[in-house]
Amino acid sequence: MHLTPEEEQIGKDNFNEAVSFSRRDFLKTSASAGAGMGALYFGYKELEGEPVRVGFIGTGDEGSVLITQHPEKYMDIVAIADLRPTNLKKAIIGHNNEARVGLINKLGKDKASKIKQFPDHKSLIKAKDELGLEAVVIAVPLSQHAPVAMECLKAGLHILSEKLMAHNITECKELVLEARKQKRLYAVGHQRHYSVLYDNANHLVESGLLGDIRFIRAQWHRNNSFPGRDSWLKKIPAEDTEALKDKVTEYGYDDMDHLVNWRLYNSTGGGLMAELGSHQMDACSIFLGKKHPIAVQGYGGRNFYGVKGVGSKDKQDDKREIDDQVFVTLEFPGQHYDAKDNPRDICVVTYSSINTNRWEPYGETVFGSRGTLIMKTEKEAMLFKEASPSTGGGGPEQRLHVINASDGSGVALDAYETTAPSAQASTAVIEKLSRGYTEEMEHFCHCVRTENFKKPEDGGLRCNGEVAMADAIMALTANLAMKHQKRILFKPEWFDVDNDAVPETDPDVIGK
């Protein structure tokens, strides 16, 4: 559904109104406190003592985003490492956009010049004592997440890794077990766990404001059909080729193309589900209480790239291996689900990712029996009421306010008969917040400094190895469902770190 600008504004006002009502006491406390928004929302404090000394391994697109967003009061970047000289340069000077400003613009030329640069992670690890290194941020191609992280753990370093946690679930379990053995923290960057916007949205879901949720629709639609346009297909700089001549295979890549364009190959990436879908399946599972899914099925195919007669010549000649469109259906247990006594209490989540149309770019829509919640591009949230015989009209043009339900069951949405937003809705600044990158790094550093190894529900890392492994299981099992063209039932032992069972070797998945 495409909303008009006026309808979108009503939806945002409705969301702000609902949050202002349902979290009134919390927001009053937050407004009077001196700590940052992330600390207030997610239960940590401003860091006491020196910032954590951190090295960045991988300074390409994602690594440079994290460099830009890193919290200086919590994190002191003392070293960077990347196989590609061009990535090291961009980490210093930036990418000429506000998402990747570079260390000089972030910290100033003098401080940036003191940051040590290394041509690979091995040389950075070797210098860890000289650097006083405590932790690393890993943002390398997916296939190297586990090998690099394992070396860092064995060197006694705490880890914050980009998602997906690893290339397969066997690697995920090995990493969690090694982190336990080394008594080191392992965090993974599914940043919605640290998004204030998503935390507020989830609070509304948990309060029952949306009613019964039977369906969530998520999508990430892009249009790369125009000639020469594709953010995942990059030219290989001659400087990088020269620097890595005859040794790129030493680092786990078949050739320079697999290093630079790693997202396009099965041996180095995980396709659309790993790169895009994993974030949104994570968001959907948060809205559904972080319960493990029951089953998954779907279709994935290379139906645009490399297809004769479809698209421009560069698209027809494209040799990528990953699917260019995926359509996945997951079944999640409802609040009262029981496999024997109540097996039909199920919420269906659908996910689609395509490359030939961006009418609805990316986000999630939660369809409840009393309201609809729309999360748009991680930056906006909109709430709309369902029409009701007791609380009045609904739809995209209906303003609402929140009331205490007459039966005492909690809060409810009520029609608001005016064309103007309430004072709470019009003055709220809920949407003007970060996407969670800064907050995840703040909390990671706080846990390192305070030696906080607690579970997420007790104030520990909100996306630790176990949580991230569950996200990886969803994404990678969806890939297996599409590959083998079958409906796959998730098994509890896959989610058990101490059990060797994994979906990629399960006979029920891959056949005997």
3-state secondary structure 14-83: HHHHHHHHHCHHHHHHHHHCCCCHHHHHHCCCCCCCCCEEEEEECCCHHHHHHHHHCCCCCEEEEEEECC
Residue with tokens 């989610």: 495
The residue type found at 81 is A
CA 414/CA 453 separation, integer angstroms: 43
77 is a domain residue: yes
118 is a domain residue: yes
> Which pLDDT score, from 0 to 100, does residue 433 have?
62
How high is the mean pLDDT of the chain?
92
Q: What is the value of pTM for the model shown?
A: 0.94
344 is a domain residue: no
- Work out the average pLDDT over 52-67: 97
Q: Tell me: pLDDT of 34 over 50.
A: no
410 is a domain residue: no
Identify the band that residue 43 occupies on the pLDDT scale cut at 50, 70 and 90: confident
Find the CATH number of the domain harbouring 146. Answer: 3.40.50.720
CA 128/CA 286 separation, integer angstroms: 36
**Can you name the residues that pair with 353 across neighbouring β-strands?**
220, 326
> Which pLDDT score, from 0 to 100, does residue 204 have?
95
- Lowest-confidence pick of 222-231, 232-241, 382-391, 417-426: 417-426
CA 54/CA 273 separation, integer angstroms: 30
> Which pLDDT score, from 0 to 100, does residue 431 have?
41
Query: Of 437, 459, 447, whose CA–CA distance to 52 is shortest?
Result: 447
Omega prior to 164 cis, within 30 of 0: yes
How many structural domains does the chain have?
1
> Which pLDDT score, from 0 to 100, does residue 427 have?
47
> Which pLDDT score, from 0 to 100, does residue 402 have?
77
22 is a domain residue: no
Contacts of 410 (CB under 8 A, 6+ apart): 207, 208, 209, 404
- R_g (Cα) of the chain, nearest Å: 23
Parent domain of 454? 32-190+438-468
Q: Tell me: pLDDT of 106 over 60.
A: yes
> Which pLDDT score, from 0 to 100, does residue 410 have?
65
Which CA distances in Å does 56 have to 106, 169, 328, 380, 475? 15, 24, 34, 30, 26
268 is a domain residue: no
185 is a domain residue: yes
> Which pLDDT score, from 0 to 100, does residue 117 have?
98
User: Phi and psi of 458, rounded to 5°?
Assistant: -105, 10
420 is a domain residue: no
Q: Report the 10 Å Cβ neighbour count for 108.
A: 10
Which long-range CB contacts under 8 A does 404-409 form with residues at least 24 apart? 409/208
Percent of the chain with pLDDT over 90: 83
Query: Of 300, 355, 363, 359, whose CA–CA distance to 328 is shortest?
Result: 300
User: Phi and psi of 127, rounded to 5°?
Assistant: -95, 15
- Work out the average pLDDT over 139-157: 98
